Structure 1
Amino acid sequence: MVLGALLTAVVLVLTACSGDQPEPVPGPAIVATPADGSFAPLELRVTGLSPGAQVTLTATTLVDDVRYTSEADFSADADGSIDLSTTAPTSGSWSTADPMGPFWSMTGSSRRPPLSVFDEPYDVDLAVTDPAGTDLARLTTTRPGTAPGVETRPVADGGFVGAYVVPADDGGAPLPAALVLGGSEGGLESATTTARWIAGLGYPALAVAYFDEPGQPTELENVPVEPVLAALQWLHEQAEVEPDALFAFGVSRGGELALWLAAQHPELVAGAFAPVGSGYLVCGYPDDGVPAWTLGGQPLSPACVRAADGEPPAASAVDVAAIAGPVVLACGTDDELWPSCSFMDDIVRRRGAAPTIAVPGDGASHYVAVAPGVPGFDQDLPVEVRSATHVVRRAFWDAAADVFASAADDQ
């Protein structure tokens, strides 16, 4: 009887003591959650820090036996948290509130072209450390890549030089598609990279070279557009392609040709994407005393824009108002190659009420058409310019994905 009473008293004491214990405080943690947008963006937060704590967030990946890394310093808020969507670093590899900052700002040097290195999935190690270098939290996250599983097929027998890229899973039904044109760098590589990104979104794309490939002009001078028109017809005939939802997608100098295709061939082209592109036909490069483009051996327009022109000649204008379908644009105010934002504003003005998406690029560079989240590109530009450019990339590619998705829904 006495023993039972003693045991009951011990249990009551232990229960009372345990009830007085505070809940354990979670330690620091890195929390990554999927976000809406193209190319699988993440929301990123650091929790469980002391209010006002000074910490460093690093990201590291190993691709092609090359180490890519980024680093930025932060101050925790009054709740001991850091939300990268709303909080800019105090210093580091990027300068804006950007949850994808740790990823795209990683720098390294692969043997492959930087824009193709991250097509396939790769792991990124995230770490938070205190000023003494002590680890506070770690997380490994797998990035899906910008073009996982897509298939690239060279095309050389259709009267043009191209690369046809199809998504990993096309579902068997015809899909919206894009004919892709690169810029003044020439060749096929940059257009193929962009085509792979479009296929990574789930849509077939045909990259086309218009100069600097075998059998083509070596400069952007007197370039015949007939091969591009042949490529457009070829793409229309592919089983994966919905012919009523075929878009022209041109970057920089390819942008003016994409707009021209959409304006002149509405029966073949449903709309145009022209990031950092011109709404006028610009003269040749490097010789601006000759036209860049010809059709039937004649200049594509009676006049073309020279670098010294104060105002573009009216006869060089592409009739952008004639494009009934969507036109998607983007620019950079820190574009050192040409005045892409002036070009964009002019296209918007001349489009009037026609469906146009224009992404402004305050502080951004010429390279706004790179897929968001891709590390290792434009590493020599100032941090502020790279950061502003990534903001435009996200907005441009989100708009592009929406246009493709809307076209698919309409079929």
Structure 2
Amino acid sequence: MKILFLFPLLLISCKQPSPEIIIPKKYKIGESFDFKVTGLETNEEYELVARKTDNFDREWLSKATFKADDFGQINLSNSTPIKGTYEKKDLYGLFWSMTMTEELGDDWTAPEPIDFSTINFSLVRTMDTLGSVSTRQYTIPQGIETETLNDQIVAKIMRPSNYEQPLPAIILLGGSGGGLSWASRMGALLADEGYATMALAYFNEEKLPKNLAQIPLEYIENAINELIRKNYIDENRIGILGYSKGAELALLMASRNSEIKCIAAIAPGSAVFQGFKPPKFPVLSSWSLNGEDLEFVPNAYDKRFFETYDGMYLWYRTLSQHDKVEKASIPVENIHGDILLVSGVKDKIWPSTYMSEQIISRLNIAKFENNYEHIALPFAGHGIAEPPGHPTTSLSSRLGGTAYGNAKAREVVWESLKNFFNRSLNTNKEAL
């Protein structure tokens, strides 16, 4: 006799999980992170909408529609939008493609990056919001010690809060806007990478010249010496980073000071040029030494410029003064270390790619013995000296390049800077 054992059939419920937007609650601008949406119906379309408010209380918005994959997920690193404010797979796409929701005229004020921004992401399907989450994007990293100098020298010195050995140092020089804004932001981010950094103002701050004209090189020398005297600085590992006119100044200082062991110049000039002193714009050098103007290239104004105010026309006309350019060219062959040049081919402020190639040519002729490189970014303009993560949609009309080109250029610039200083200053972040 056979005995049959009948086992009940267990029915397992396969309930669809709820949609979830996965992104860190906070992150440092420029760093990679996981950003995805899970719990979706496979192969169905969903829209992600990003919003933030800038320091002028204006709303910025971006959006992109995706199709969920076979696992019911959207991974922002490798998912191509079906439609939206950007077109290609891009982790930072929803960040850089933000535009203001209100129409403004040509004279609107660009937002100033602040210590952190809160960005809200919403998941939408057929007009229904399925969920939302916020992340805090830090422009100034947490855990950085800052010393402010505001006497003979106007600067901020930043360093990691924990370190076990003398630190390599980087001096940062911003461009024709003056002040400390750009240098402070970049200085804080580089300090978080394991450096002591000095964000140095050289005009347009209290106690400093108002205009970018006849800036004494002695002031920069004194600032470098002040930094080197700090007991936590390794005086044998000093670098310098400059942007735009600050890159012109950085190249000039590196060619004169053997303490500087490497230089990175973003959108640089190749010579000493005329200063900027409105409203009458006297013919003065940007820089001085011992109370005298350094040899400089004067602006080649003509009738056409005053009819069109075409800045690039003026710059190429100025650079066509070959004898004056030769006399005022920065002697980059005297630099005592590695050189990194980065430029945007579509730069609308000045021809930084052309001038970078002039610098490279001079180094080639001199058979420069240290490492040197020029990275020319084909679809980028002048606004490339920030880490990826800020909107780039407002840069093209003023500074050149495309929104996508500038966004991708910022990724290249940030990684190139980190690699360059790590290699040239032998940074050991593990020791922090």
The verdict on a shared fold, with TM-score over 0.5 as the criterion, is yes
* Aligned-partner Cα distance in 1 for 2:377–2:161: 33
Structure 2 counterparts to residues 89-238 of structure 1, below 5 A = 89-106=81-98, 114-117=111-114, 119-120=115-116, 124-130=119-125, 132-136=126-130, 138-157=132-151, 159-160=152-153, 162-238=154-230
Amino acid at match of 2:271: Y
Q: Secondary structure at the match of 2:227?
A: helix
Match of residue 246 from structure 1: 238
Would you say the 8 A contact 2:46–2:68 is kept in 1?
no
Match of 1:59 in 2: 50
Contact between 1:28 and 1:137, CA under 8 Å: does it hold in 2?
A: yes
Q: Deviations over 1:302-355 (max 9, x none)?
A: 656753224352122212233342222222233221112222233334334742
Q: Report the identity percentage.
A: 24
Deviations 1:250-291 (A, max 9, x none): 11001011011112212x101112111112222222537321
2:392 matched to 1:367? no
SS class of match (1:360): strand
SS of 1:167's partner is strand
1:265: which partner in 2?
A: 257
**Cα distance in structure 2, aligned partners of 1:70 and 1:236:** 45
252, 260, 285: which is aligned to 1:291? 285
Cα offset, 1:128, TM superposition: 2.5
1:356 matched to 2:356? The reply is no
Distance 1:85 1:207, change over 3 A: same
Distance 2:119 2:205 in 1: 37
Q: How far is 1:174 from its partner?
A: 1.5
The one-letter amino acid of 1:290's match is L
How far apart in 1 are the matches of 2:46 and 2:354? 41
Structure-2 change in CA distance of 1:139 and 1:276 (3 Å):
same
Q: Distance in 1 between matches of 2:182 and 2:65?
A: 36
Question: For this pair of structures, how many residues does the alignment match?
Answer: 391
Q: Give the TM-score taking structure 1 as reference length.
A: 0.80
Partner of 1:309: 318
Could you report, residue by residue, the CA deviation over 1:168-224 in whole angstroms, capped at 9, with x for unpaired residues? 424142211111111111233333333233223332221222223344433222222
Contact 2:19/2:40 (CA < 8 Å) preserved in 1? yes
With normalisation by structure 2, the TM-score equals: 0.76
**Are the counterparts in 1 of residues 272 and 328 from structure 2 also a CA contact under 8 Å?**
yes
* Cα distance change on mapping 1:214 and 1:77 into 2, 3 Å: closer
- Counterparts in 2 of 1:390 and 1:69: CA distance versus 1, 3 Å: same
State the distance in 2 between where 1:374 and 1:24 align: 39
Cα distance, 1:230–1:205 mapped onto 2, change above 3 Å: same
Once the two structures are superposed, the pairs formed by residues 10-25 of structure 1 within 5 Å of their partners are 12-15=7-10, 18=11
Query: Contact 2:66–2:80 (CA<8 Å) still a contact in 1?
Result: no
1:282 has 2:273 as partner? yes
Structure 2: which amino acid aligns with 1:386?
A
How big is the alpha-carbon RMSD for the aligned residues of Structure 1 and Structure 2? 3.8
**1:87–1:283 distance in 2 versus 1, CA, 3 Å:** farther
Contact conserved, 2:56 with 2:111, CA < 8 A, in 1? no
Which residue pairs with 2:403 in the alignment? 386
Asked whether the equivalents of residues 197 and 371 of structure 1 are also in contact (C-alpha less than 8 Å), the reply is no
Structure 2 residue matching 1:42: 3-state secondary structure: coil
Between 250-259 and 75-84, the greater mean CA deviation after superposition: 75-84
Q: Which structure 2 residue ranges, 5 or more long, are not aligned?
A: 102-108, 301-314
Conserved 8 A contact 1:275-1:369: yes
Partner of 1:336 in structure 2?
348
Deviation at 1:396, TM superposition (A): 1.1
Partner SS for 2:381: coil
Among 321, 335, 338, which residue is 1:326 paired with?
A: 338
- Cα shift at 1:237: 0.8
2:104 corresponds to which residue?
A: none
1:399 lines up with 2:408 in the alignment = no
1:347 match: secondary structure: helix
Partner Cα separation in structure 1 for residue 204 and residue 127 of structure 2: 50
How many angstroms apart in 2 are the aligned matches of 1:143 and 1:215?
33
**Where in structure 1 are there 5+ consecutive unaligned residues?**
none
Contact 1:38–1:401 at 8 Å: present in 2 too? no
Alignment of 1:2-17 (within 5 A): 8-9=5-6, 12-15=7-10
Q: Counterpart amino acid of 2:348?
A: E
Aligned to 1:40: 31
Tell me if structure 2 keeps the 8 A contact 1:199–1:205.
yes
| Inter-partner Cα distance in structure 2 for 1:148 and 1:115 | 19
- Per-residue deviation, residues 228-262 of structure 1 (Å, max 9, x unmatched): 11101111111232111111111100101101111
1:74, distance to aligned residue in structure 2 (A):
2.9
Q: Classify the secondary structure of the residue corresponding to 1:190.
A: helix
Query: What amino acid maps onto 2:404 in structure 1?
Result: S
Matching residue's letter, 1:199: A
- Aligned residues of 1:27 and 1:48 also touching (Cα < 8 A): yes
Contact 1:146–1:200 (CA under 8 A) maintained in structure 2: no
